[in-house]
Amino acid sequence: MLPIHKIVWHEWREKRVPQRVPEPEAMVDPEQIRAYVKAYEWGGPTSALQLHHLRELGAMIKPGDIVLDMACGPGPLLLELAALYPDVSFVGADLSQPMLDAMLDAARVRQLSNVSAVCQDITTLPGVQPASVDMVISTSALHHLPDLHALDAAFGCIQGVLKPGGGIYIFDFGLLKSTKTQDIMVAEVAKLAPKITVIDYQNSLRAAFQISDVVECAKRRLDLPFKVKTSSFVDFFYFLQSSPRCEVAPGTLAYLARVRHTLDFNMKAEYSMLRLMRRELAL
């Protein structure tokens, strides 16, 4: 489990925010992609976060919706959602065709007929019609964008493809101040993930945007009400999400309970901590 006291101490002591170090926008190496997929299996280092995403999105996705996952990668979250909501259409957008191929192959194996893909830049998305999407989701992805100009354009695309009354669910890392804090986070992931994934995670932490910059872009480009929730004490992560649109289906709740039961004590504690240690920012 994360040593919160050490994380808070190092972040409190560091007064300057480092300059972010951009990483490649698209992952195309087969070994990296296989390791990425492995990291999102239940019991892996992302289990608590995946469980949280599914719980939150269960109150936001309605029957008949069209859901766009921006920078979906191989679609670990999208595929879980597609299995839970067979009457919803899920579209994955990513700049990496090998990533999308991995997602579509997995969808065929799982016999999911409600999954499609577009290989496009999320700052333009020419293949997605304006006002055609009910929900836009993006998780652990926006930090791949090269700069604030691209981040601003991505939020413009979100606004452009959403139907009136549509919703958003966006999660990503914030830029931590202390390299020692980053090292602690990386060491935790290293306990469960292969080395190549650990390196990817380290690069992702360094490439994160400052949360204040993300919020400003969102406020400037999104014409819909949303809330911003961040981690307490330190700017480790943020959520931008609109209001719930429905009740969580009993089948979804039952599935999440079964998955949670399979996780070890540390992962269950991390899931509980993730839900408890969120604070809402005033906009």
Q: How far apart are CA 53 and CA 47, in angstroms?
A: 10
Q: State the pLDDT at residue 17.
A: 86
Give Cα 282 to chain centroid, integer Å.
22
Tens of pLDDT, residues 147-177:
999 999 999 999 999 999 999 999 999 999 9
* pLDDT for the residue numbered 12: 87
Instruction: State which CATH number among 3.90.650.10, 3.40.50.150, 3.40.50.970, 2.60.120.20 fits the domain covering 4-281.
Output: 3.40.50.150
What pLDDT does 156 receive? Answer: 97
Taking the model in full, what pTM does it have? 0.95
pLDDT given for residue 181 in this prediction: 92
Residue pLDDT, tens place only, 94-144: 999 999 999 999 999 999 999 999 999 999 999 999 999 999 999 999 999
For residue 279, is pLDDT > 80?
yes
d(CA 136, CA 67): 6
Q: What is the pLDDT of residue 1?
A: 66
- Average pLDDT, rounded, for the chain: 93
Structure-block tokens of residue 174: 């914030």
Split at pLDDT 50, 70, 90, the class of 205 is: very high
In terms of C-beta density within 10 A (0-12 exposed, 13-18 middle, 19 or more buried), how is residue 248 classed? middle
CB 45 within 8 A of CB 39: yes
Q: pLDDT confidence of 193, banded at 50, 70, 90?
A: confident
pLDDT score of 260 more than 90: yes
The percent of residues above 90 in pLDDT, for the chain, comes to 72
Please report, in angstroms and rounded to a whole number, the separation of the first and last CA atoms in the chain: 32
The total of other beta-carbon atoms located within 10 Å of residue 189's CB is 18
Render pLDDT for 9-45 as a digit per residue (tens, 0 to 9).
888 888 888 899 998 777 888 888 888 888 899 998 8
